[in-house]
Amino acid sequence: MATDKTSSLDDIIGEISSGMTIGIGGWGSRRKPMALVRALARSSVTDLTIVTYGGPDLGLLCAAGKVSKAYYGFVSLDSPPFYDPWFAKARTTGAITVREMDEGMVKCGLEAAAARLPFLPIRAGLGSDVPNFWDGELRTVTSPYPDDDGRHQTLIAMPALQLDAAFVHLDLADRHGNAAYTGIDPYFDDLYCAAATRRYLETDRLVTTEELVEKVPVQRLLLNRLNVDRVVHTPNGAHFTFAGEYGRDEAFQQFYAESAKTPEAWQAFSDRFLTVPEDVYQTEVDKWNAEREDAQ
């Protein structure tokens, strides 16, 4: 029998140390491993480098002062007010160094790391300010093969985005690290895992291997055992982003963004939803939604 990798959020965060580079799966405000992000925000680790298609994951970590450097293609909440307020604050105060890039360059850099290559060539980035965001860390490479007209193409040499750890959220998984998405898009979660030394998977539903393979077509089995070190069962863990079996909590996301506007509002938000364990968070979110419905 293969290894049982089920763990607690604390087990996982215990393996994270300050200064690490962490890749966070999902996309914008879509299927983000928010339970792991919340646990990281509560922890004592600092000085993290984050690699992400950014959403409220990056925002919450900026709010908690955990981020010193960020590699991203974009940062978006995907619905109004669109711009994440905590990421915006970290940027406009100069609190973080960024290696902003084209969205396609994130995929390219993860693929390079997954294949243990130092770089992959890509057209995206040429002529734009992306190289200027990288302060000399981003170089070009010239093709050894000429085009038909005898000239040689010079392309961006996208460096491998090697990760110390990857956090991803999949809709269902077994105890060994086999996992599937049930929504419309796998995003890039398999690449994050392939690019990382340690791979941490949270899942809404922990099922037997038999149930997993019965539930979904094989093409949805995005991760196998080679891709995952620990599995944590986190029902509704992607909240307030959406996952395969629940939508985005738009009202709560707006409340998050509103709460960032004043120190008092953020303190209240933080006391109720961030400094608490995951099960308390989920209970408080249910209460918050019930209060909101009562008020209407």
Partner 1 sequence: MTTGHAGSTPDPSADVTRAEYCVIACAEIFSGAGETMASPMATTPLIGARLARLTTEPDLLITDGEALIFADTPAVGKSGPIEGWMPFRKVFDVVASGRRHVVMGANQIDRYGNQNLSAFGPLQHPTRQMFGSRGAPGNTINHPTSYWVAKHSARVFGGVVDVVSGVGYDKIDADNPAFKYLNIPRVVTNLGVFDFEGPDHTMRAVSLHPGVDAAEVAENTGFEVAGLADAGVTRAPNAEELRLIREVIDPKGLREKEVKPVSTSRTAR
Q: Which of 133, 246, 269, 288 binds partner 1 (CB under 8 A)?
A: 133
Q: Tell me which stretch binds partner 1 (CB under 8 A): 34-42, 169-177, 184-192, 273-281.
A: 184-192
Q: Is 256 in the site for partner 1 (CB under 8 A)?
A: no
We find the least distance from the C-beta atom of residue 253 to partner 1, in angstroms, to be 16
Q: Tell me which stretch binds partner 1 (CB under 8 A): 11-19, 93-101, 193-201, 251-259.
A: 93-101
CA 287 to chain centre: 27
CA distance 156 to 138: 8
Q: Tell me which stretch binds partner 1 (CB under 8 A): 166-174, 186-194, 222-230, 284-292.
A: 186-194
Residue 292 neighbours by CB distance under 10 Å? 12
| Interface characters, 99-118, with partner 1 (x: CB under 8 A) | -xxxxxx-x-----------
Q: Which of 12, 16, 50, 75 binds partner 1 (CB under 8 A)?
A: 75
Footprint on residues 14-43 left by partner 1 (CB under 8 A)? 27
Q: Is 157 in the site for partner 1 (CB under 8 A)?
A: no
Q: Is 244 in the site for partner 1 (CB under 8 A)?
A: no
Which residue, 105 or 231, is less far from partner 1 as judged by CB?
A: 105
Which residue, 102 or 171, is less far from partner 1 as judged by CB?
A: 102
Q: Which of 4, 10, 11, 185 binds partner 1 (CB under 8 A)?
A: 185
Q: Is 56 in the site for partner 1 (CB under 8 A)?
A: no
Size of the site for partner 1 (CB under 8 A): 46
We find the least distance from the C-beta atom of residue 225 to partner 1, in angstroms, to be 22
Query: CB of 45 within 8 A of CB of 13?
Result: yes
**Residue by residue, what is the 3-state secondary structure of the chain?**
CCCCCECCHHHHHCCCCCCCEEEECCECCECCCHHHHHHHHHCCCCCEEEEEEECHHHHHHHHCCCEEEEEEEEECCCCCCCCCHHHHHHHHCCCCEEEECCHHHHHHHHHHHHCCCCEEEECCCCCCCHHHHCCCCCEEEECCCCCCCCCCCEEEEEECCCEEEEEEEEEEECCCCCEECCCCCCCCHHHHHHCEEEEEEEEEEECCHHHHHHHCCHHHCCECHHHCCEEEECCCCCCCCEECCECCCHHHHHHHHHHCCCHHHHHHHHHHHCCCCHHHHHHHHHHHHHHHHHHC
| Interface characters, 220-239, with partner 1 (x: CB under 8 A) | --------------------
Which residue, 91 or 175, is less far from partner 1 as judged by CB?
A: 91
Q: Which residues of the shown chain bind partner 1 in the complex (CB under 8 A)?
A: 27, 54, 72-76, 82-83, 87-88, 91-92, 94, 97-98, 100-105, 107, 122-130, 132-133, 147, 149, 151-155, 184-188
